[in-house]
Structure 1
Amino acid sequence: MWACRLTQRTKFSYEGFRWQPQNCEMPDFERSAFLRRMKDKTLAFVGDSLGRQQFQSLMCMASGGEESPEVQDVGRKYGLVKARGALRPDGWAYRFPKTNTTILYYWSASLCDLEPLNITDPATNFAMHLDRPAAFLRRYLSRFDVLVLNTGHHWNRGKLRANRWVMHVKGKPNNDRKLAVIGNAKNFAVRSVIKWLNSQLPKHPRLKAFFRTISPRHFSHGDWNSGGSCDNTAPLSRGTEVSQDASSDSAVESAVKGTGLKILDITALSELRDEGHISRYSIKGTEGVNDCLHWCLPGIPDTWNELLFAQL
């Protein structure tokens, strides 16, 4: 669904650029080297659909973009099976048997624990526990060697209403006016999950944990549902360098400071790549609909994985 070469798009120059950090050499991503580094290890992405894109990108990079019949679907070991009536499972897990490397993704758009308020009612609301990490994280953390978290784009009133999420703190509906502000609630949840994960690191000394900064949107002249678009196809029209030291995602940067988590900072470098979005070139090609949030693959998320591999 993200393969822009299967759409009506005609310009693919965005595929030909690589990031070069100053004063250090970023290693080329070689799948054999990656799989050797990840021998007998499990790498987990937990987050929203941009986390899913990073997972899909890494699966393509690790398999060389080719069908690999030997790669095993091990989703069942992590409870990742399609529920009756669902469009897709809550995630996927695949094992590369030659090196016993598992790469998985779990959909948790807010990273918060979600609990149905009335389990017998299909239309029930969900308690969104801002101070409690997703149950999947608590259950399977001991199996992970590398964990990459992200959240951000679902923190708006429309998404909360559509998902029937009701903010809870300390097991009760939130009545703190400050936390009722969506941005404050998001930052509180991010700090909560980082604080929890940091407390778990001594029990899992081999675990390397990353929090990925937010992936930028490039809608102009409106939003996704009000005629917004991103028609630029010229690479680096916004500039060629990131010169700032601080992260453009200050909330994540401050939350990981002083903890055992590392920041995977992709915001500023992705900000310069507005030509790499799906734009209007989706597989379905719905008239008047632009996707200036998700990225073409191969594309910008590959860079995120190159940075991740370099840090590993």
Structure 2
Amino acid sequence: MGDRTQIIFTGGGIRVVVSCPDLTPKVSGVDEEQKLGIHWGFDIKKPCPIISMHTLDVGYDLNLKDHLVVDNALEEKAIEVYHDENYKSRRWLFPSYNFTVSVIWSPFLTQAAIFEDINGVSTSEIELHLDKLDKNWTEQYKSLDYMIIAAGKWFIKTAIYYEKDTILGCHYCPKRNLTELGFNFAYRKVIRNVFDYIISSNHKGMIFYRTTTPDHFEELDEFEKASAKASEKRVNLKLLDVTPLSLLRPDGHPGPYRFFQPFAKDKNATIINDCLHWCLPGPIDSWNDLLMEMVVNG
């Protein structure tokens, strides 16, 4: 099926076509590519509905402007124009729309030395510079019309924190004689620095700050302070909070099925449940619905 990911917008809904080495033609008797034509929604009266994309109308379901409804027969495959060595940062182009979609890999938003392999096994603590923003995203920031800032998950990892090239302390480093500061300390400092950078930039693009899960970080006072300053300088900073919506769909996580047929050899096997990642299609489809609403009518 190839090794590229392609996002296609069509009339009657949003269709996502994905091709990558991890997708097999059929899993559990279901065609994987066919699954991607299904839209998962949130409906409290009818929990967990699965609606074919052919029954949806973008103009109706998202209350979008008429010009966003595209004929169902039209589709354009995105062209991958860039990827880094590890395929973590990538960029796709929709030529006829002169529109690009980018994924910029910057898990901490600041400069970080990470010593992990592809499976997340680390040989040393992460070295995180809280006061030095990552050039991976800052150098592209002013060229972007829309940007979603999403960070948080990586902050729970073992790390040593630096400021002005001096060690401040760490998070979960029992073998080191360092002050335990906790990941909230680092997350708050980084987000504050990110907001300060955005506000001082005078960039006129639309910037979304996507919250992280409340069990990791609940306080939003840093965003509220930044939002007030952003309004004064006419910087378009918005909050995207998908947590309340996602709490309705715990079944959207892979659970034990992150790996193919986990109980095939032993039905009583002890399997680690994956409650961090999300299945596609799934609840994250509705995150996109929210984002589109905010882009068009925000």
TM superposition score normalised by structure 1: 0.59
Q: 1:150: Cα distance to partner? A: 0.9
Q: Which residue of 1 aligns with 2:197?
A: 196
Query: Partners in 1 of 2:97 and 2:253 — Cα distance?
Result: 33
Instruction: Indicate how the Cα distance of structure 1 residues 96 and 29 shifts in structure 2: closer, same or farther if over 3 A, else same.
Output: farther
Number of residue pairs the alignment of both structures matches: 225
Q: Which residue of 2 aligns with 1:239?
A: none
Are the aligned partners of 2:106 and 2:137 in contact in 1 as well (CA < 8 Å)?
Answer: no
Are the aligned partners of 2:40 and 2:286 in contact in 1 as well (CA < 8 Å)?
Answer: no
Query: Partners in 1 of 2:130 and 2:293 — Cα distance?
Result: 32
Which whole-Å deviations, capped at 9, do the CAs of 1:134-155 have from their partners, x for residues lacking one?
1112211122110101111112
Q: Which residue of 1 aligns with 2:167?
A: 173
Q: Which residue of 2 aligns with 1:104?
A: 102
Are the aligned partners of 1:191 and 1:255 in contact in 2 as well (CA < 8 Å)?
Answer: no
Are the aligned partners of 1:214 and 1:249 in contact in 2 as well (CA < 8 Å)?
Answer: no
Q: Is residue 2:24 matched to residue 1:17?
A: no
Query: Partners in 1 of 2:228 and 2:69 — Cα distance?
Result: 28
Query: Partners in 2 of 1:258 and 1:277 — Cα distance?
Result: 35
Matches within 5 A, 1:156-171: 156=156, 159-160=157-158, 165-171=159-165
Instruction: Indicate how the Cα distance of structure 1 residues 171 and 289 shifts in structure 2: closer, same or farther if over 3 A, else same.
Output: same
Are the aligned partners of 2:249 and 2:283 in contact in 1 as well (CA < 8 Å)?
Answer: yes
Q: Is residue 2:245 matched to residue 1:269?
A: yes
SS at match of 2:277: strand
Matches within 5 A, 1:52-71: 70-71=77-78
Q: 1:251: Cα distance to partner? A: 5.4
Q: Which residue of 2 aligns with 1:74?
A: 81
Matches within 5 A, 1:1-312: 7-8=27-28, 15-18=39-42, 27=62, 33=68, 70-75=77-82, 80-82=83-85, 88-114=86-112, 127-156=127-156, 159-160=157-158, 165-174=159-168, 180-200=181-201, 202=202, 204-205=203-204, 207-215=205-213, 250=220, 253-254=223-224, 256-260=226-230, 261-286=237-262, 288-312=271-295
Query: Partners in 1 of 2:68 and 2:79 — Cα distance?
Result: 20
Q: 1:106: Cα distance to partner? A: 1.5
AA in 2 matched with 1:262: K
Instruction: Indicate how the Cα distance of structure 1 residues 208 and 282 shifts in structure 2: closer, same or farther if over 3 A, else same.
Output: same
Q: 1:34: Cα distance to partner? A: 8.4
Q: 1:181: Cα distance to partner? A: 2.1
Query: Partners in 2 of 1:183 and 1:270 — Cα distance?
Result: 22
**Greater share of strand residues, 1 or 2?**
2
Are the aligned partners of 1:213 and 1:249 in contact in 2 as well (CA < 8 Å)?
Answer: no
Query: Partners in 2 of 1:190 and 1:135 — Cα distance?
Result: 15
Query: Partners in 2 of 1:113 and 1:138 — Cα distance?
Result: 11
Query: Partners in 1 of 2:104 and 2:43 — Cα distance?
Result: 28
SS at match of 1:149: strand
**Greater share of helix residues, 1 or 2?**
1
What is the root-mean-square deviation of aligned Cα atoms in Å? 4.1
Greater RCO (Cα-Cα under 8 Å, separation 6 or more): 1
User: Any stretches of 5+ residues in structure 2 without a counterpart?
Assistant: 1-19, 45-59, 116-122, 171-177, 231-236, 264-270
User: Any stretches of 5+ residues in structure 1 without a counterpart?
Assistant: 36-63, 83-87, 118-122, 218-246
Q: 1:280: Cα distance to partner? A: 1.7
Q: Which residue of 2 aligns with 1:52?
A: none
Query: Partners in 2 of 1:298 and 1:213 — Cα distance?
Result: 21
